[in-house]
Structure 1
């Protein structure tokens, strides 16, 4: 497997996990009684947080590895 394939597969996996976390956050917000716009906002914040966390983790690991 080439390095490009590994990077693309990892990026796709991170996006899938971010989408799953966002969907779970939106569903939990709706179950808690939040309105649809509020639930969508919570899902969006969760999606952005997962992507930001993965970017920070990648940066930290790149510093350690190189």
Structure 2
């Protein structure tokens, strides 16, 4: 009699997917922040204003993407 093979629990896959999606969310947020800062600078804004706009864009994008990731992760569990 052979022992039964144990499958990897779906919660492990969900955790890996959540970590991967969170990493992608941070990278996308950084790219949005960079674009916002560069566009502000191209609009003749000061360095402080450009960094501020980039920071606000980063925070807003990251908030929306983390909400999306957590919703999808909740649906998968």
- Give your verdict on TM over 0.5: yes
**Unpaired stretches in structure 2, ≥5 consecutive residues:** 1-11
**Unpaired stretches in structure 1, ≥5 consecutive residues:** none
Q: CA RMSD in A?
A: 2.0
Are positions 1:32 and 2:43 aligned together? Answer: yes
* CA deviation after TM superposition for structure 1 residue 51, in Å: 1.2
Are positions 1:54 and 2:68 aligned together? Answer: no
So what's the TM-score if we normalise by structure 2?
0.71
Distance 1:7 1:59, change over 3 A: closer
Tell me the equivalent position of 2:26: 15
**More moved, 3-12 vs 47-56:** 47-56
So what's the TM-score if we normalise by structure 1?
0.81
* CA deviation after TM superposition for structure 1 residue 4, in Å: 1.6
Cα separation, 1, equivalents of 2:30 and 2:70: 21
| More helix, by proportion | 1
Distance 1:12 1:41, change over 3 A: same
- Higher CA-based Rg: 2
